[in-house]
Amino acid sequence: MRSLSVAVIGAGSWGSALSIVLDSNGHKVHLWMRSAEQLKEIKTTGKNQKYLKDVTIPDSVQLSNDLETTIEGSDVILLSVPTQSVREVLKRIKSSLTKDQIVINVAKGLETQSKLRISQIIEQELGDHPCVVLSGPSHAEEASRGMPTTVVSTSKEKKWAEFVQEMFSNDYFRVYTNPDIIGVELGGSLKNVIAFGAGISDGLGYGDNAKAALMTRGIREIARLGEAMGADMSTFSGLSGIGDLIVTCTSMHSRNRRAGILIGQGKSFEETLEEIGMVVEGIKTTESAYELSKFYNIEMPITEQIYNVIYKDVEPKDAVVQLMSRRKKNEMEEIAEGRELDW
């Protein structure tokens, strides 16, 4: 593939990491950040310490806090801003975009007010514009250091998903394509809810048994809602489903898990968010997932209890008791998808 000019919008951990990946692939990367202080720090030290500790940003990555200048002349616009900021950024840049510029989103979440996936927000704001979603089990801390990472590229059009696959792939960053944009986006968004719950479990001092149950039943909840919203069930068995859930529920790189741990240990939400110092997507996504479960009449008991902890001030231990004392069930009731079980 020829060298591309890529505008990366957002210099958080993932935006910075992907800038390094793209730079190593020979692309011309322009990295935009809102903060003038952050810009000065990276230019002075070569590091983005708050978001990507002790990782050097290559000198060949061009830095700016002028959004319009950053995207001008770029072949690709990569959105790496928090979910709730995506629409604002799109409104700022859409008059400057050309129809040939491909938009890639790498954030994972649902817009709180509309409950829309990010590709739907992009479609609302930009119309019929080339749009690709990149998702999967991928910690910035590892990808930025050249550790093996595998993700999924999805789009309404196969050619754009394959374009992004080619653009990112190298000997440590492998990209698969998947036609199920709904499932890929929902898997990447909703796993943050379960990871927050896994963190609470850890913070309460519970063990591997509890976490295994949360992850197993959690992916079932995600798949159940995903199917109701038009996703392909097989997607949730792949990288953007169970793969992303595993990495987010088990790693201390996960800010959602770390936030849950602090809540489980008795910290307030204010103390927790101050200590994490970055956006915890799972908190807002929990609200959206809970409301979607009610809209689609889908049973999501883990999500409901996490919602109760966040938004109804239920004590985490009490939420666990509610989960464990639900009516007794046959595990196959859900797996059988309505088939009559003869046992």
Each residue's pLDDT tens digit, 60-101: 999 999 999 999 999 999 999 999 999 999 999 999 999 899
The number of beta carbons lying within 10 Å of the beta carbon of residue 228 is 14
Q: Kindly state the average pLDDT of the residues 185-190.
A: 96
| Residues with Cβ within 8 Å of residue 230, at least 6 apart in sequence | 182
Considering the domain architecture, whether residues 156 and 22 belong to the same structural domain is answered as yes
In a domain, 342, yes or no: no
Domain count, the chain: 2
Across 330-338, average pLDDT: 61
Based on the residue annotation, tell me whether 267 is a catalytic residue of this protein.
no
Q: Which of 209-218, 256-265, 274-283 has the lowest mean pLDDT?
A: 274-283
Q: CATH number for the domain including 173?
A: 3.40.50.720
Q: For all residues of the chain together, what is the average pLDDT?
A: 93
Is the per-residue pLDDT at 304 higher than 50? Answer: yes
Residue 168 belongs to a domain: yes
Q: Where residue 336 falls among pLDDT bands split at 50, 70, 90?
A: very low
Tens of pLDDT, residue by residue over 226-254, are 999 999 999 999 999 999 999 999 998 99
Q: Are residues 151 and 19 in the same domain?
A: yes
Q: Is residue 41 part of a domain?
A: yes
Do 262 and 162 lie in a common domain?
A: no
Consecutive H or E run containing 175: strand 173-177
* Mean pLDDT computed over 256-266: 94
Burial letters for 82-114: b for 16+ Cβ neighbours within 10 Å, e otherwise?
bbbebbebbeebeeeeeeebbbbbbbbbbbeee
pLDDT value of residue 61 = 97
- Could you tell me if 161 and 238 lie in one domain? no
- Give yes or no for a contact between 86 and 113, defined as CB atoms under 8 angstroms apart: no
Q: What is the CATH number of the domain that holds 305?
A: 1.10.1040.10
- Name the pTM for this structure: 0.93
Q: Check whether residue 162 and residue 187 sit in a common domain.
A: no
- 31: containing domain: 5-177
pLDDT of residue 282: 85
Q: Are both 27 and 132 inside the same structural domain?
A: yes
Exactly one of 108, 191, 211, 284 is catalytic; name it. 191
- Does residue 294 belong to any structural domain of this protein? yes
87 lies in some domain: yes
In the predicted structure, residue 328 carries a pLDDT above the cut 90: no
Is residue 23's pLDDT more than 70? yes
pLDDT at 279: 81
Considering the domain architecture, whether residues 232 and 314 belong to the same structural domain is answered as yes
- Is 256 part of any domain? yes
Which one of 177, 197, 227 terminates a domain?
177
Looking at the structure, do residues 166 and 292 belong to the same domain, yes or no?
no
Q: What is the mean pLDDT of residues 181-200?
A: 96
For the cut 90, the answer to whether the pLDDT of residue 113 exceeds it is: yes
229 belongs to a structural domain: yes
In one-letter notation, the amino acid at residue 36 is: A
Q: Is the pLDDT of residue 342 over 70?
A: no
Residue 119 vs residue 340, higher pLDDT = 119
Task: Read off the pLDDT of each residue in 23-45 and give the average, rounded to a whole number.
Answer: 95
Residues 151 and 192 in one domain: no
Task: Tell me which of 144, 159, 177 is where a domain ends.
Answer: 177
User: Does residue 313 share a domain with residue 233?
Assistant: yes
Pull the structure tokens for residue 267.
């910290």
Q: Specify the higher pLDDT residue, 242 or 340.
A: 242
pLDDT of residue 335: 55
Residue 44, Cβ neighbours under 10 Å: how many?
A: 8
Query: Looking at 153, 177, 201, which one is the last position of a domain?
Result: 177
Q: Are residues 205 and 264 in the same domain?
A: yes
Residue 217 is assigned to a structural domain of this protein: yes
Environment class of 325 (CB within 10 Å of its CB; exposed 0-12, middle 13-18, buried 19+): exposed
Is the dihedral angle over the CA atoms 131, 136, 142, 147 positive or is it negative?
A: negative
Please state, in angstroms and as integers, the Cα–Cα distance from residue 273 to each residue in 62, 140, 267, following that order: 30, 19, 10
Q: Does 1 score more than 90 pLDDT?
A: no
Residues 135 and 259 in one domain: no
